[in-house]
Amino acid sequence: MRTQVCVIGAGPAGLTLAHLLHRQGIECVVIEAQSQAHIESRVRAGVLEQPTVDLLTEIGLADRLRREGMLHHGINLRFDGATHRIDFAELTGGQAITVYAQQELVKDLIASLAPPILFEVDSVRVDDTRVSFVHEGVERTVDCDFVAGCDGFHGVSRASIPTGALSAYERVYPCAWLGILARTKPAAEELIYARHPDGFALHSMRGPTVTRQYLQVPPDTSLTDWPDDRIWAALSRRLGEPGLEQGEIFDRGVTALRSFVVEPMRHGSLFLVGDSAHIVPATGAKGLNLAVADAVALSYGLGAHYAGTPDELAKYSARCLRRVWQVQHFSWWMTALLHNLTGTDAFDERLRHAELDRVVAAPSAARNLAENYVGLPFAVGW
């Protein structure tokens, strides 16, 4: 098979890119290792930034998320027994976030995608501009001009780049998140980020009857050590929320917290997009949004390339990395601000407390949080 761009991976990065390429008349094929049912039910992110929603609206893909997603104009920070609302609308000139499950966005992106997606591909290999794989038991190859490696942190794209061609920058945090989905009514209208001596907790939601909640846990945590009673007791203590309801927990998982970036985000004709190039700790709710921002930058570069302006494509990596490092900084900062990290002492603890105090007391500090949380612009030029 011959196409212009072979997109590896049908997550938010790959699917957004395929839509944006198609809109510019650029041919592509998407190949995905998992089944459609699997990726449409994989529980992950839930927060869409303003620029992500604006983009999806502009390309006509936001009808359901605007109907069913929850528009939030702020978040609550809770520590020392007090709650402080960060008012995004007031601090950012009316911007907001939308709470909408990643798997629902993936469904929407797949349902309206014109380019073909081949699901359940196996043994994927990238050799320059040839991608080979097995699909339905048959060996297939795609010859293309460019390969978009949108296959996440554990994919083949980054792994197919020779050692030494990329530099990796990494921080692994001494904690993880235990995340649950529960059939309970949200205890608040907006998210609650709680700092507590026992560790961080987050109260989020997926609708009027489903909550998504997270607890800071040690990195080697086994779910068998966390029966429902223990999860509810920890959420209740750390959130300090009198309205917290208990109910059926119908999904649970443990996710490591990690910061990771490779540079550059390109090797020859292979471009790394989204989690294949970088991971952020979940505290800032940024991973999905960063994946979409990369897809925007790559579609812009490829559009310019096919229109006869190749210089724009050459800027892809530098352009993405500038935003990536802003988002890395914000995610690292939010993580350090709200978690109990081992290896820190009473002095660090007081510094962190001073910082939190400033965020809730000084509008300039609150604005910095709000601007980053609602999302930095996708400005291709900066």
Interface with ligand DHB (CB under 6 A) = 45-47, 99, 191, 202, 204, 212, 282-283, 285
Q: Which does 283 bind (CB under 5 to 8 A by kind): ligand FAD, ligand DHB, none?
A: ligand DHB
Q: Is the CB of residue 156 less than 8 Å from the CB of residue 121?
A: no
Q: Which is nearer to ligand DHB, 152 or 301 (CB)?
A: 152
Q: Which is nearer to ligand DHB, 96 or 380 (CB)?
A: 96
Q: Which does 31 bind (CB under 5 to 8 A by kind): ligand DHB, ligand FAD, none?
A: ligand FAD
Q: How far is the CB of 186 from ligand FAD (least distance, A)?
A: 15
Pairing label, strands 146-149, 138-143: unpaired
End-to-end CA distance of the chain: 37
Q: How far is the CB of 348 from ligand FAD (least distance, A)?
A: 26
> CB under 8 Å to 284, separation ≥6 — which residues?
327, 330, 331, 334, 335, 372, 373
Q: Which is nearer to ligand DHB, 46 or 115 (CB)?
A: 46
Q: How far apart are CA 277 and CA 153, in angstroms?
A: 7
Q: Which amino acid is at 104?
A: E
Q: How far is the CB of 307 from ligand FAD (least distance, A)?
A: 26
Cα 186 off chain centre by? 22
Kindly tell me the sign of the dihedral angle through the C-alpha atoms of 254, 260, 265, 267.
negative
Q: How far is the CB of 290 from ligand FAD (least distance, A)?
A: 7
Q: How far is the CB of 182 from ligand DHB (least distance, A)?
A: 12
Q: Which does 374 bind (CB under 5 to 8 A by kind): ligand FAD, ligand DHB, none?
A: none
Which CA distances in Å does 57 have to 47, 52, 67, 72, 356?
16, 9, 12, 17, 34
Q: Which is nearer to ligand FAD, 134 or 314 (CB)?
A: 134
Q: Which is nearer to ligand FAD, 10 or 366 (CB)?
A: 10
